[in-house]
Amino acid sequence: MKPCVGISHCLLGEEVRYDGDHKRSHAVVEVLGKHFEWVPICPEVDIGMGVPREPVHLFEDEGHIRLLGVTSGYDWTGLMTEYAEGRTSELTSREIHGFVLKSNSPSCGIDGVKLHDCSGAYSTNGIGLFARALQTQLPALPIVDEQRLKDARVCEDFVSKVHEYRDWLQGQQ
């Protein structure tokens, strides 16, 4: 059986992004699709944001990270945090072996996500809320974003790490 790998749904070509578009990735679909069974997710759609929807961003205020609607200021933090923790636990029970996430996403970005402050400035020190839950609850899980997968060595390394992680999990049973 192929390893089960979670993936941001938009990378498979599904039109689930805030603007109703997708971010289909050749490296993901054509190259890695031969190696893995995909478990697609879209945290933003899963917590009830529509398609299309208002974009969201990460906002830091006094050390607290919030997920806010860009124009409305609606606070999605609680719903996303609850979803991320529950979904990560569910994925653990499904024996997920890796994850491919959408880069720069306020929910799925593994690093380099824009983190806004109350002055209107931003840094690129953010981590998406769903990605943070994955990294915290499953620290050994191989996680990569589609931008890094454009590098053939990173792609090969990810495939190897996913297989090693699956073998390690099977040895734990």
Q: What is the pLDDT of residues 124-158, one digit of tens each?
A: 999 999 999 999 999 999 999 999 999 999 999 99
pLDDT classification of 45: cutoffs 50, 70, 90: very high
Count of beta carbons in the 10 Å neighbourhood of residue 62 = 5
Q: What is the pLDDT of residue 62?
A: 87
First-residue to last-residue Cα distance in the chain: 17
pTM, entire model: 0.94
Q: Is the pLDDT of residue 28 over 90?
A: no
Q: Is the pLDDT of residue 173 over 80?
A: no
Q: Exposure of 83 by Cβ count < 10 A (0-12 exposed, 13-18 middle, 19+ buried)?
A: buried
Task: Compute the average pLDDT of residues 25-32.
Answer: 86
Q: Percent of the chain having pLDDT more than 70? A: 99
Q: What is the pLDDT of residues 84-104, one digit of tens each?
A: 999 998 888 778 999 999 999
